[in-house]
Structure formats: C-alpha cells, structure tokens
Amino acid sequence: MANGPRIAIDAMGGDIGPAVMIAGMARARRRDKSLRFELFGDESKIAPELEKHRPLVEAVTIHHTTDAIESSEKPSQAIRRAKTTSMGLAINAVKTGAADAALSGGNTGALMAMSKLALRTMPGIDRPALAALLPTLGNTDCVMLDLGANTECDAQNLVQFAVMGSAYARTVLSLSKPRVKLLNIGTEELKGTGELKKAAALLREADYLPFRFEGFTEGDRLSRGDVDVVVTDGFSGNIALKTAEGTARFVTDLLRRAFTSSLRSKAGFALSKPALNLLKVHLDPNNHNGAVFLGLNGLVVKSHGGANYKGVANAINVASSMVRNDITRKIGEDLDNFRAHTFSDEAAE
Amino acid sequence: MANGPRIAIDAMGGDIGPAVMIAGMARARRRDKSLRFELFGDESKIAPELEKHRPLVEAVTIHHTTDAIESSEKPSQAIRRAKTTSMGLAINAVKTGAADAALSGGNTGALMAMSKLALRTMPGIDRPALAALLPTLGNTDCVMLDLGANTECDAQNLVQFAVMGSAYARTVLSLSKPRVKLLNIGTEELKGTGELKKAAALLREADYLPFRFEGFTEGDRLSRGDVDVVVTDGFSGNIALKTAEGTARFVTDLLRRAFTSSLRSKAGFALSKPALNLLKVHLDPNNHNGAVFLGLNGLVVKSHGGANYKGVANAINVASSMVRNDITRKIGEDLDNFRAHTFSDEAAE
C-alpha cells in the first residue's frame, strides 16, 4: 500500500493520555492501512499500550519526551516549552515537514498559541479559527467556526472565516458550493453588530468565490440542515457549541428519567432500544470529534479531551482527509482570488 | 375577592392575535380570580372572542383601536405610533397608572423601543434587559438575561443585569440568595473579554448584595441546575437561548424519527407515552413563556409570538407575580445599595 498521510500525535494530551490515543490510532489504521504516525510522549507509558495493538507498530515512530503540557497551564507559559513537550514537538513535526498534520487532545489554548507561533498564519489571514462539524437533520453535518480561538472579531476576520470554512466544507463534506451564513440574533439586515453588517456586505459582493452567501441565521436554525457553513466570532461560537452540547445532554437526561420512571416505560424502552441507539450514535460527540485550526501554514487538529478511542480515530480521519484534499492550498487559492477581486475593485474606483 | 394586578394586554400582537390572547387571559383568570385586564385592540375582532369566555367579561375593559404594530416594522417607525397602536396604548396604561404591567406578543424590538421611551430606565440603570426562565435538571428554572435587548454591553451593564436578574430570581423563583454567574467561554479567571473580567471583579466585591456571585459558567452548564441567574450580553444571550431551543427541538425530532422507524419501536413508543409526555411538558416553551423587560419604571412582559393560550396564561402569571412582589421597588433598593457602597469606596480612596 502506498504511503498515506503522516500524522504527528501528542500521546500525552487529553484526559486519559496514551491508552486512548493509541487505541484510536489502531482503529483509524484498521480502516486506512496507508496511515503513518509520528508519536510524541513518554516511551515508558507508550510502549505497553502499543503492545496491545501489534499491527500498529510498523506504522509508528516513537519520539520520547517526558515533558507534557498540563490542561490548566496558561498558553503564555506553555509556548516556552515548545521544544521539549509532546504537544510542541508534534506541532514542530508539521513545521519541519516530518508530518502532514498534528493532533492533540490537550489544552486548547496552549495548542492554539504553539501552533500559531510555529506555523504562522497564511498570507491573507489575520487570525486562524477553530472549526468543527455539527450534526443536523439534513443529509450532511454543518461546519461552524470560530469556536473559541478569537473572542472578538472584526468584519475582515469573519470574511476570512467564511473563505476557510467553505474550503473545509468542500473538502470534508464534499460539497461543490457550500451555503454560508453568518450567525446573528435575527435574519433582518438591520440586526446585529456593525462588524456583522459589514461582513455581510463584503460577502454579498464576493459571488465569484466557491460558496453561496445566504445572509444571517439564528441559533435555533443551526441543526435544521439549511446551512453548510456557520460563521461567527469565537465567543458566540463557543457559547453556541457548548449550549448545543449541554442541551442535547439535558434532553437525553430527561429522556432517561422518563424511561426509568415506571415499569411500563422501562418495557417501552426495551422495545425501542434498537431505534434509540441510532439516536445515541447520531448525538455521540465522539462521532463529531476533531476540531480543526484553519488558516495556518500547516494542519493541526484538536481532539476533545474526553474523547474515547472512536473519537480519536474520527479526529485522525478528519486530519488525513484534510491532508489528502490539500486543504491549505485550497484556502490559499480562495484567499488569493478574494484579494485579487478586492484590490481590482479598489483600483477601478 | 380583592382586586389584584391590572394587566394591560396588547390584543393584536403575536402570530394569532386576539383569539389566543383572550383564551390565555381566560385561563389565567380561572386560576386567579382577582386579575383584571385593560384590553387594547380592534373591538370588532375582540368581541367575538370574548363571547367564548363569558366569565372573563366582568374583568375586562376594552380600549378600541384599529392601529397595530406589524411584526416586520422597524422600532424607529413603530415609536411614532405610540399613541394610536394597541401596543403603544398598552404600555401607556402602565405609564399613567391605569395598569400595573403590560403584556404583548408582538414585535420585540418595537416593544422594547416603545417601553423605553414611555417608561424610561430606572435611576442607576443605563440599559434595560430582557430576562426569561430556562428549564434545568435542578429543582427550579434559572433566569437568563440579557436575551437580545442590547447587542453590546460593558462591565457596568453586566453588573446592573446581575442586580436586576437576582431581584427577579428572588421574586419569581422565591430564592433568598440566588447564585449568579457570568456566561463565558471558560471558567478560568483569564478567559473572555475585558468587559467580562471587569464585571467579574466588580461583582466579586459586591458581597453585601442579596446574591452570591460564583464566577463564570459555560454554555454546556446552563441546564445543569447549578446556577440561578446567568448574566450575559444580549448577543450571546440570544444565541444561547435560541441554540438551546433549536437543539431541544433537534433531539426531539430525532427521537420522533427513531420511534417511527419500525413497528417494534412504535410499540415501545405507545408503552412509554405517559412518561414521554412528562418530557414534553418539561420542554414545552409555552411553560416557560413570558420574557420580562427589567430596569424600566414599569413592568412590561413579552409573550412569544407563537405562544398558545397556555403560554399566554403563563406570561400573565409572570406579570402578576412581579406586580405582587413589587419587583421594581426591589431592584431600585438593590441598585441604591450598590451605588452607596461604590461611592463610599471611591470616597475612601
């Protein structure tokens, strides 16, 4: 089998560490034999876990380090240990070309800060953004960004997020012309902040780009399946994503209470179980694991700290799909296109 | 029976208009015979609906007007018709003292603009806020504000929202010392915008006020029942509220699909139905209807435009409970208290 994407893995990140990361790697490789891994972390903890997944061994190169970023560490402290920690070294492997993408389940702020410092933002991107897939009632998931990398964003940032998010949707969701909307508190043109209105005006004019801008959407429409890319600042995006997660758990908790409230409903639950398992699969965050830092000169994927091995495998699939589709190049082309039009407009005035 | 709260009702607001407003009034009055209503709207449409609820007639005074605010009207246009529209006249009844509170299911922006202009903000309040109750897994609902009245807020606004929201929780949820948190994208002190951090610092010092400030909370904790008052700017609050509504509907839609996917699951559904109905009641937005404009010299309640008669009755209960508990006076006392401490601190420095 030809050599496929090489993924640098931070073995020490996440709530559980090497056991779940390595089990996830094994699962991902069972599906895709061409994957190879550069694995960074404490060899004494890695080796016994690798023993449990013998077929994986031939695809893994171990890079030993005992230094690791703690989940509570400040990004400003973490970046000082870029050269010694498993997270920093995994990112550096992307910088040097030893790997095509890096993946970590560790401290998000530290991962973002280290990635920015090592990989730098792409030409035309002021700030990278964190993007992820949300389940919907439609045929495909939708992409949402930014999910917390930037607490405050101006119109230019939002336009750049739209360009990056639509490149991501074209790649990972195989859509030729994704529908893009800005998250707002109403769909009328006069709603929202000044920056949102400015971003909408810019996007309305950018009809030469490979997406359709369809105006504003609201929080209650996110899972309806009528939008492919939801663009927002990192503060609102993080609030929306976490509120959606919390509400889904809230409803399923109420459902569990309802089903255990009487013998009769317990019997109903037993009968409905196969159907309800489909619901569980659809809502399981592990099936949507793998948030992506877009806008850097290199690919970095964030796995949820609490993801299980299926979630880690899913995040690895996200990373390898982006490598295969050369998403960084696609984003670059769209940005060049956008800037060429903007500058020629200005010159014509 | 002694005379209870007098509620001014905008009969023409909401998606359905007089039929649902009057049926809601009838339901509210069946539970509380002391309620009285000042009803504003088109008498030719009101009279036939009142005919259907004979016992209500003795409690209602009709004020005829054919002018009404449309749902799509801009607030800046709406305020010019404060003296002629059913919405404007209902608010004016609070201003003149003819009613103790006003209720409308119409255009939120117009209701807010007209209420501010007619009633003015309380001394010490820069901007009023829209507050509502959210269902939780705990024993009581939680209060969230602002839900969309102010797209951008500074630290002082957020502190004022905390004071108003806790007065509301003390009144409507009967809590003596509500737990107050600021909505943020992390719980660590260094997370979020500068204004959020400033607001947190101010609230941490305000320990003489009748609430406990417990720092930051995140979107996924809103329905956990570990906070009584969630304070946020109107943009994030609106996004969070609508995302929660949308996600709850998303999960119940998936559930419906699961239950109808096979004969076996249909049988399971039939058995579980009584238990699932409890879930339905818990999640029904009508049972949480009635958002309140806090911080004005007079009470105004917004009923959801799509609320049914039970939802309208619920919003009327919210209004009458605020009147009975004299919430405007309570907010005023807390604000005086806050300012007295703040000014004496400044004088001491």
Q: What is the pLDDT of residues B171-210, one digit of tens each?
A: 888 899 999 999 999 888 778 899 999 999 999 998 888 8
**B147-169 tens-digit pLDDT:** 988 888 999 999 999 999 999 99
Q: Which domains does chain B have, with CATH numbers?
A: 1-120+295-306 (3.40.718.10), 126-292 (3.40.718.10)
> Searching chain A, which residue's CA lies closest to the CA of residue B268?
A268
Residues contacting residue A87 through CB under 8 Å, at least 6 positions apart: A10, A12, A13, A40, A68, A69, A78, A104, A106, A107, A110, A111, A114
Per-residue pLDDT band at B24 (split at 50, 70, 90):
very high
pLDDT > 50? residue A1: no
> Searching chain B, which residue's CA lies closest to the CA of residue A268?
B268
B291-300: b (≥16 Cβ within 10 Å) or e: bbbbbbbbbb
**Could you write out the DSSP letters of every residue in B314-348?**
HHHHHHHHHHHTTHHHHHHHHHHHHHHHHHHHHHH
Identify the burial level of B105 via C-beta atoms within 10 angstroms of its C-beta, where 0-12 means exposed, 13-18 middle and 19 or more buried. Answer: buried
> Searching chain A, which residue's CA lies closest to the CA of residue B219?
A243
- Least confident among A93-107, A242-256, B96-110, B296-310: A242-256
Query: Residue A82 is which amino acid?
Result: A
Say what the pLDDT of residue A207 is: 84
Question: Chain A partners of B223 at a C-beta cutoff of 8 Å?
Answer: 246-247, 250
Q: What angle do CA B166, B169, B175 make, to 5 degrees?
A: 105
**A67-125 tens-digit pLDDT:** 999 988 888 899 999 999 999 999 999 999 999 999 999 998 899 999 999 999 998 89
Q: If you count them, how many residues does chain B have?
A: 349
Which segment, A54-58, B69-73, B148-152, B253-257, is predicted with the most confidence on average?
A54-58
Per-residue pLDDT band at B288 (split at 50, 70, 90):
confident
pLDDT > 70? residue B319: yes
User: Who among A232, A264, A268 is closest to B269 (CB)?
Assistant: A268
Q: Cβ separation of B238 and A221 shorter than 8 Å?
A: no
User: Who among B246, B252, B259 is closest to A272 (CB)?
Assistant: B259
Of B76, B72, B106, B73, the C-alpha closest to B89 is: B106
Q: Give the count of beta carbons closer than 10 Å to the beta carbon of residue B14.
A: 24
Average pLDDT rounded to a whole number, residues B328-342? 83
Report A:150-209 residues touching B (Cβ under 8 A).
151-152, 183, 185, 188, 190, 192-193
Shortest Cα distance from A184 to chain B (angstroms)?
A: 7
Average pLDDT rounded to a whole number, residues A322-343? 85
Of B99, B110, B102, B109, the C-alpha closest to B10 is: B102
Q: Cβ separation of B244 and A270 shorter than 8 Å?
A: no
Q: Provide the β-strand partners of residue B230.
A: B144, B181
Per-residue pLDDT band at A283 (split at 50, 70, 90):
confident
Average pLDDT rounded to a whole number, residues B89-113? 95
Say what the pLDDT of residue B344 is: 59
Say what the pLDDT of residue B102 is: 98
Say what the pLDDT of residue A345 is: 56
Do the beta carbons of residue B183 and residue B244 sit within 8 Å? no
**pLDDT over 70 percentage in chain A:** 97
pLDDT > 70? residue B52: yes
**A91-101 tens-digit pLDDT:** 999 999 999 99
Do the beta carbons of residue A122 and residue A328 sit within 8 Å? yes
Partner B contacted by A45 (CB < 8 A): no
B339-347: long-range contacts at Cβ-Cβ below 8 A with a sequence spacing of 24 or more? B339/B124, B341/B206, B341/B208
pLDDT > 80? residue A65: yes
Average pLDDT rounded to a whole number, residues A55-78? 93
Of B291, B294, B296, the C-alpha closest to B118 is: B296
pLDDT > 50? residue A349: no
User: Who among B137, B246, B275 is closest to A265 (CB)?
Assistant: B275
pLDDT > 90? residue B51: yes
Shortest Cα distance from B134 to chain A (angstroms)?
A: 11
pLDDT > 50? residue B1: no
Partner A contacted by B96 (CB < 8 A): no
Residues contacting residue B69 through CB under 8 Å, at least 6 positions apart: B12, B13, B78, B81, B85, B86, B87, B88, B106, B107, B110
The HSE-up count of residue A11 (CA atoms within 13 Å, CB side) is: 27
Say what the pLDDT of residue A213 is: 96
Structure tokens at A125: 């991107």
Residue to substitute from B185, B233, B304, interface A, most A β-carbons within 10 A? B185
Average pLDDT rounded to a whole number, residues B281-288? 81
Say what the pLDDT of residue A218 is: 94
Average pLDDT rounded to a whole number, residues B265-280? 81
Of A204, A203, A230, the C-alpha closest to A217 is: A230
Structure tokens at A269: 């639950």
The residue among B188 and A49 whose pLDDT is bigger is A49
Per-residue pLDDT band at B345 (split at 50, 70, 90):
low
pLDDT > 70? residue A11: yes
B197-206: long-range contacts at Cβ-Cβ below 8 A with a sequence spacing of 24 or more? B198/B154, B198/B155, B199/B155, B199/B156, B199/B158, B199/B159, B199/B162, B199/B231, B202/B155, B202/B156, B202/B159, B203/B159, B203/B162, B206/B159, B206/B338, B206/B341
- CA-to-CA dists, residue B262 to A20, A137, A258, B256, B266, angstroms: 36, 19, 21, 11, 6
B238-275: b (≥16 Cβ within 10 Å) or e: bbbbbbbbbbbbbbbebbeebbebeeebeebbebbeeb
Say what the pLDDT of residue B343 is: 60
Say what the pLDDT of residue B121 is: 94
The residue among A199 and A188 whose pLDDT is bigger is A199
Say what the pLDDT of residue A298 is: 96
Of B241, B231, B80, the C-alpha closest to B168 is: B231
Q: Mean pLDDT score of chain A, rounded to an integer?
A: 91
Q: Give the count of beta carbons closer than 10 Å to the beta carbon of residue A61.
A: 14
Do the beta carbons of residue B319 and residue B7 sit within 8 Å? yes
Q: Cβ separation of B193 and A236 shorter than 8 Å?
A: no
Average pLDDT rounded to a whole number, residues B324-347? 79
Which segment, A173-182, B186-195, B244-253, is predicted with the most confidence on average?
A173-182
Q: In whole angstroms, what is the distance from residue A348 CA to residue A278 CA?
A: 56
User: Who among B241, B267, B283 is closest to A271 (CB)?
Assistant: B267
Residue to substitute from A189, A250, A279, interface B, most B β-carbons within 10 A? A250
Q: Cβ separation of A247 and B251 shorter than 8 Å?
A: yes
Average pLDDT rounded to a whole number, residues A287-296? 91
ipTM: 0.89
Q: In whole angstroms, what is the distance from residue B283 CA to residue B293 CA?
A: 23
Structure tokens at B318: 């919210």
Q: In whole angstroms, what is the distance from residue B129 CA to residue B216 CA?
A: 19
Q: Mean pLDDT score of chain B, rounded to an integer?
A: 91
Instruction: Pick left, alpha or beta for residue A248 (phi over 0 → left; psi -120 to 50 → alpha; otherwise beta).
Output: alpha
pLDDT > 60? residue B231: yes
pLDDT > 70? residue B349: no
Residue to substitute from A196, A243, A257, interface B, most B β-carbons within 10 A? A243
**A232-270 tens-digit pLDDT:** 999 999 999 999 999 988 888 888 888 888 888 888 888
Q: In whole angstroms, what is the distance from residue B78 CA to residue B87 CA?
A: 9
